[in-house]
Amino acid sequence: MKAVVKLSRGKGNMSLMEVDKPTCGEDDVVIRVKAVGVCGTDYHIYTDEYATTPPIAVGHEFSGEIVEVGGKAKGLAVGDRVVSELSVESCGVCRLCKTGNPHMCPHRRSPGTFTDGAYAEYIKLPWRLIHKIPDNVSFDEAAVAEPSAVVAQGLLERARVEPEDFVVVMGPGPIGLLALQMAKLYGAKAVMVVGTDADERVRLPLARKLGADHVVNASKEDVVERVLGLTEGFGADLVMECSGSRQAINAGIKALRRQGRMGVIGIPGPEELNVNWKEAVLKAINVVFSFASSPLSWNMVLSMLGRKVLDVNSLISHREPLENWQKVFDEIEKGNVVKAVLYP
């Protein structure tokens, strides 16, 4: 079968090539990949800014159809339309696994980084990670379920957006635009989305289309002043940090009210961060970090997609066959992509 493989560490070193089709084990299913989303992590594996274990097929945001079912699998059949959680090799017996957090298990390995991923015609995964796609949800929409689940965990489970919250979303990438929609859906009074000049042409206008009450270009406007002006000097109730930017983190701390909350999803780059912890302490800010996605977050997101209350189609700016992965990565480097979907 064909797959896009990271061959070795270092920038680039990624190629479309023929590899063996996975063999289905007793506890596995084999899935024919129908659509795979391009995550920022995939691009950073390409640029060698994110750790992986090559040679390995990349990609983890996908949807597909089951073509083989292992003998121990339950409730699944050939032909089922599915997506999958990513907690491959989680142990199932540690405290984290037993409290519903297998995504934080120290033994967890994820497709596309430590096991072969979904930039491929077929992928093998443990049957216990599989979720069926609602009948009215397309493969394209379902391919965005994984980043949506990341946001659901960070915003709804961890930071816990509340009705009447004034929410500031730092970073108008796919994660930030999904956080905008879920915050509105769960009752936020107002949502501000913050970007930079790089987002002015595509992403900030999309934030307006998706319902942002306020859109700020931090390259041209003081975010803190804008927030204080809109909240009568009180500050935001919740900042969702989806950018990984030092400037955004510090602006978020300044923009928050006393005893406000900050939910952190964005993963910073390799540079050292200088964060204004003194102001955070003096304000008694509650900072919550979130990584990956819980089993519950997948259930929530598939329900949202099935009820058509989450617009993921508007996020998909590029659709290409898998053979054109390099073209998509080149467009990402130019800043032209919101979310791309590839078709193996």
Q: What does the pLDDT look like over 1-45, one tens digit per residue?
A: 999 999 999 999 999 999 999 999 999 999 999 999 999 999 999
Is residue 302 situated within a structural domain?
no
User: Which pLDDT belongs to residue 40?
Assistant: 92
Task: Compute φ and ψ for 333, nearest 5 degrees.
Answer: -60, -30
Residues near 330 by Cβ (< 8 Å), separated by ≥ 6? none
Query: What is the tens place of the pLDDT at every residue in 153-188?
Result: 999 999 999 999 999 999 999 999 999 999 999 999
With bands split at pLDDT 50, 70 and 90, how would you rate the model's confidence at 271? confident
pTM for the model stands at 0.96
How many Cα atoms sit within 13 Å of 45 on the Cβ side? 28
Is residue 304 situated within a structural domain?
no
User: Which pLDDT belongs to residue 269?
Assistant: 78
Residue range 146-154: mean pLDDT, rounded: 98
**Residues 334, 274 share a domain:** no
**Residues 138, 193 share a domain:** no
Residue range 214-232: mean pLDDT, rounded: 97
Alpha carbon distance 174, 144 (integer Å): 9
Is residue 307 situated within a structural domain?
no
| CA distance from start to end of the chain | 10
Residue range 116-121: mean pLDDT, rounded: 98
Question: Do the beta carbons of residue 81 and residue 139 sit within 8 Å?
Answer: yes
Look at the chain and report how many structural domains it folds into: 2
**Residues 52, 135 share a domain:** yes
Token reading at 323? 């053979």
With bands split at pLDDT 50, 70 and 90, how would you rate the model's confidence at 51? confident
**Residues 116, 164 share a domain:** no
Is residue 295 situated within a structural domain?
no
- What's the Cα-to-Cα distance from 130 to each of 190, 203, 218, 266, rounded to whole Å? 35, 32, 40, 26
**Residues 225, 186 share a domain:** yes
**Residues 203, 101 share a domain:** no
pLDDT at 242 over 80: yes
Full residue range of the structural domain in which residue 258 is found: 149-289
Is residue 306 situated within a structural domain?
no
**Residues 186, 101 share a domain:** no
Is residue 301 situated within a structural domain?
no
Number of Cβ atoms within 10 Å of the Cβ of 97: 19
Is residue 296 situated within a structural domain?
no
**Residues 325, 270 share a domain:** no
Residues near 310 by Cβ (< 8 Å), separated by ≥ 6? 148, 178, 181, 182, 185, 301, 304
**Residues 326, 250 share a domain:** no
Query: In 3D, which of 286, 294, 248 has the Cα closest to residue 267?
Result: 248
The three-state secondary structure class of 151 is helix
pLDDT at 214 over 90: yes
Is residue 298 situated within a structural domain?
no
pLDDT at 89 over 90: no
Query: In 3D, which of 234, 189, 196 has the Cα closest to residue 212?
Result: 189
What is the number of H-type helices and E-type strands within the chain? 11, 16
Number of Cβ atoms within 10 Å of the Cβ of 272: 7
**Residues 72, 201 share a domain:** no
Query: What average pLDDT does the structure give for the chain?
Result: 96
How many Cα atoms sit within 13 Å of 252 on the Cβ side? 33
With bands split at pLDDT 50, 70 and 90, how would you rate the model's confidence at 272? confident
With bands split at pLDDT 50, 70 and 90, how would you rate the model's confidence at 281? very high
**Residues 282, 162 share a domain:** yes
The three-state secondary structure class of 274 is coil
The three-state secondary structure class of 257 is strand
Give the helix/strand (H/E) hosting 230: helix 223-230
With bands split at pLDDT 50, 70 and 90, how would you rate the model's confidence at 274? confident
User: Which pLDDT belongs to residue 139?
Assistant: 98
With bands split at pLDDT 50, 70 and 90, how would you rate the model's confidence at 225? very high
For residue 260, the domain's CATH number is 3.40.50.720
**Residues 155, 103 share a domain:** no
For residue 337, the domain's CATH number is 3.90.180.10
